[in-house]
């Protein structure tokens, strides 16, 4: 089973991935990789992934690694996004935003704030204030991939030690598949 890329005329298959807490994330199937008699899938979210940052007067924005679904910050972000006809989704793996987003202009990307340590860049989607603190939802501009194990009951997110163990092998397999230039 192979997935045709987004640039092809064929439909890209979608897979619903479930994490260990029972949350789901609808993804496009990019690659299917057999390892140790199991099929692993390299996926990209259908909705736009976003990262929550605490904005500071001085210095770089601080990435908030984990946040409870019930946090008031997310409720405020919901309201702000609704003003732009967007919806915040508390998905497996990451927060996502559904709705029509404008594509960033290439020249605008050079001016955006980013975290140089991780060599990732982000585009600010919205900013807001919660409890007298500034926050921003940023879109990661680097591709956002999800790894899942395909099972009869569906796709299960590969997390923690399993991810640490399987990720290098998946990367090696993908490198072998790339055509030599």
Work out the average pLDDT over 60-64: 86
Highest mean predicted confidence (pLDDT) among 19-23, 79-83, 130-134: 79-83
Work out the average pLDDT over 39-57: 92
Q: What is the pLDDT of residues 143-180, one digit of tens each?
A: 889 999 999 888 999 998 999 999 999 888 888 887 76
Work out the average pLDDT over 84-88: 92
Alpha carbons 13 and 15: distance in angstroms, whole number: 7
Query: What pLDDT is attached to residue 125?
Result: 92
Q: Residue 30: pLDDT above 80?
A: yes
Q: Decide if 158 contacts 40 (C-beta within 8 A).
A: yes
Beta bridge partners of 155: 17, 150
Q: Residue 120: pLDDT above 60?
A: yes
Query: What pLDDT is attached to residue 24?
Result: 92
Strands 48-54 and 95-98: antiparallel
CA distances (Å), 92 to each of 4, 40, 47, 129, 133, in order? 24, 17, 12, 25, 26
Query: What pLDDT is attached to residue 3?
Result: 41
Query: What pLDDT is attached to residue 46?
Result: 93
CB burial of residue 110 (10 Å; 0-12, 13-18, 19+): exposed
Q: Residue 5: pLDDT above 60?
A: no
Query: What pLDDT is attached to residue 114?
Result: 41
Q: Residue 26: pLDDT above 90?
A: yes
CA atoms within 13 A on the CB side of 7: 0
In our burial notation (b when 16+ CB lie closer than 10 A, e otherwise), range 118-137 reads: eeebbbebbebebeeeebbb
Model's pTM, two decimal places? 0.76
User: In which band, very low, low, confident or very high, does the pLDDT at 59 lie, cut at 50, 70 and 90?
Assistant: confident
- In the block, residue with structure tokens 């060599």: 119
Work out the average pLDDT over 54-62: 84
CB burial of residue 10 (10 Å; 0-12, 13-18, 19+): exposed
Q: Residue 34: pLDDT above 50?
A: yes
């Amino acid at each position: 089973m192979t997935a045709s890329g987004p640039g092809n005329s064929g439909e890209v298959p979608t897979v619903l991935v479930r994490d260990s807490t029972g949350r789901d994330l609808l993804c496009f199937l990019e690659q299917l990789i057999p390892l140790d008699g199991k099929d692993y899938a390299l996926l990209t979210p259908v909705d736009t992934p976003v990262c929550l940052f605490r904005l500071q007067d001085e210095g770089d924005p601080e990435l908030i690694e984990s946040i409870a679904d019930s946090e008031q910050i997310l409720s405020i972000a919901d309201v702000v996004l609704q003003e732009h006809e967007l919806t915040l989704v508390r998905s497996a793996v990451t927060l996502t935003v559904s709705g029509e987003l404008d594509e960033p202009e290439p020249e605008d990307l050079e001016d955006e704030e980013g975290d140089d340590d991780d060599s990732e860049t982000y585009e600010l989607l919205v900013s807001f204030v919660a409890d007298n603190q500034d926050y921003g939802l940023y879109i990661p501009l680097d591709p956002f991939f999800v790894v899942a194990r395909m099972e009869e009951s569906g796709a299960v997110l590969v997390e923690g030690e399993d991810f640490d163990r399987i990720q290098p092998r998946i990367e090696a397999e993908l490198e072998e598949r790339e055509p030599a230039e």
